[in-house]
Amino acid sequence: MFMMPIKPLIAEDLVSDPRVLHAKKLLIEALTDHKKLLTTVHPPDSSRRKEYKKAIEQLSQYRGAPLWHPYIGSGIGNGALVELSDGSIKYDMICGMGAYSWGHSNEELADVAIDAAISNTVMQGNLQQNNDVLELSKLLTDASGLDHCFLTTSGAMACENALKIAFQKKFPAHRVLAFDKCFMGRTLALSHITSRPEYREGLPTAIAVDHIPFFDYHNPEKSIISSLEALEYLLSKNRGQYAAMSFELIQGEGGVYPGSRDFFISLMDVLKKNNIAIIIDEVQTFGRTPQLFAYQHFGLEKYVDIVTIGKFSHACATLFTKEYAPRPGLVSQTLLSSTAAIRSAIVIIKTMLNDEYFGDGGKIVEIHNRFTSQLQKLSEKYPLSGPFGCGGMIAFTPFGGERKRVLKLVHTLFEEGVITFIAGREPTRVRLLPPIGSITYEDIDNVIEIIETQIIRYC
């Protein structure tokens, strides 16, 4: 049967226009040449110190609160290295709490961002979306094995949508279960799931949430028993009132604690018997474990009803099975994400799936092992315990986890060229979320060397 040739779209002609291709080539070449100048840690330029301090003070004033790190970027980096506006160059080992997963000034992401810049819209919305929304949605549903994908602008909105979907499906059930020390976000609803009372101080009660103990790696069997007892007690006390339980499979804010498959399955079996939705919150874990999704890493595929992703993916999303497809009107919003974020997500996820990032011998495990083997050596010489975590989520506990000393170390590391963050409270740990897409063994070795130097300083 004769098929008429498909005429190229005007948009397709635009991105393949020789002028566009030449301009992109020049821009990427310029980016590559300039980022190569960032080769190692560098202190601030003395001529910029005064103005930089003023800028930090102004931004803090505009925000109404001080910056946690005195960080204002210049707009360029080189993988794990980033230049600040004071002229300093630092290793970025927290990456915007994991959001800059591919590192700084990545040429592949710059390439698709240029295409996004000449696309017809900066942001894409629920009412009108382009082909790249379809491509990303298919990519995520295929990779997850789930039926549906709704894109959104933030991890918090992805989690809000997950709750709405669960509540509608399980109406009139109105309570939620979660783990002690979990973090889900800071919106009005999510602040109640997040197990930190200070994050909801002065707020009205938006949803009813009950917390049960998380996995205790010191005593796995007892941990399962105590959490099951707590779950059964709450189910009996509030019979028929629970719509969902939120699972943070590796607690980030709580201290970078992974759970275990046996632990999760023991709880999920009970939840399934009681017709309670299982929400997997992967806003921080997505793309950072030895499988694309943490629930795949733990072998929990058959239990999952709803999954949220964000940060690493740039464009965020709520994924869910067909049984949880919401009725019209429940899930909708003006903006899904920026065109640049959507196209970046496609590049990142495709690269990870195709370039041996996953599995026991994958790049994520290699990065994890390089960090943890060297941190283990430090723990044999200095007051440091650990390392802890899984994949691209790494932590260690210096000085017995004494909060003031750990905070001082983290701020000193920033001054000396390594950007980290804290996790947990008792003990307080140093948290690392390195740029999976660009970090090298040399970067890791240099970071560990700086960490060791500063630990010696405070011993």
414 phi and psi, to 5 degrees?
-60, -50
- Over its length of 459 residues, how does the chain's per-residue pLDDT go in tens digits? 667 788 999 999 999 999 999 999 999 999 999 999 999 999 999 999 999 999 999 999 999 999 999 999 999 999 999 999 999 999 999 999 999 989 999 999 999 999 999 999 999 999 999 999 999 999 999 999 999 999 999 999 999 999 999 999 999 999 999 999 999 999 999 999 999 999 999 999 999 999 999 999 999 999 999 999 999 999 999 999 999 999 999 999 999 999 999 999 999 999 999 999 999 999 999 999 999 999 999 999 999 999 999 999 999 999 999 999 999 999 999 999 999 999 999 999 999 999 999 999 999 999 999 999 999 999 999 999 999 999 999 999 999 999 999 999 999 999 999 999 999 999 999 999 999 999 999 999 999 999 999 999 987
Give Dmax over CA atoms of the chain in angstroms. 79
Fold of 37-98+359-459: Aspartate Aminotransferase, domain 1 (3.90.1150)
Q: How far is CA 248 from the centre of its chain?
A: 12
Task: Give 355's contacts (C-beta < 8 A, 6+ positions apart).
Answer: 363
Say what the pTM is.
0.96
Task: Count other Cβ atoms within 10 Å, centred on residue 55.
Answer: 15
Domain residues of the chain, as ranges? 37-98+359-459, 125-354
CA-CA distance, 56 to 66, in Å (whole number)? Answer: 8
* Token reading at 351: 């690269």
Do residues 398 and 360 lie in contact, with contact meaning Cβ atoms separated by under 8 Å?
no
Structure tokens at 153: 């602008």
Place of tokens 């060229």: 417
Distance CA 190, CA 184 (A): 6
Cα–Cα distance measured from residue 159 to residue 316, given in angstroms and rounded to the nearest whole number: 10
Q: Which amino acid is at 13?
A: D
Domain spanning 125-354: CATH 3.40.640.10: yes
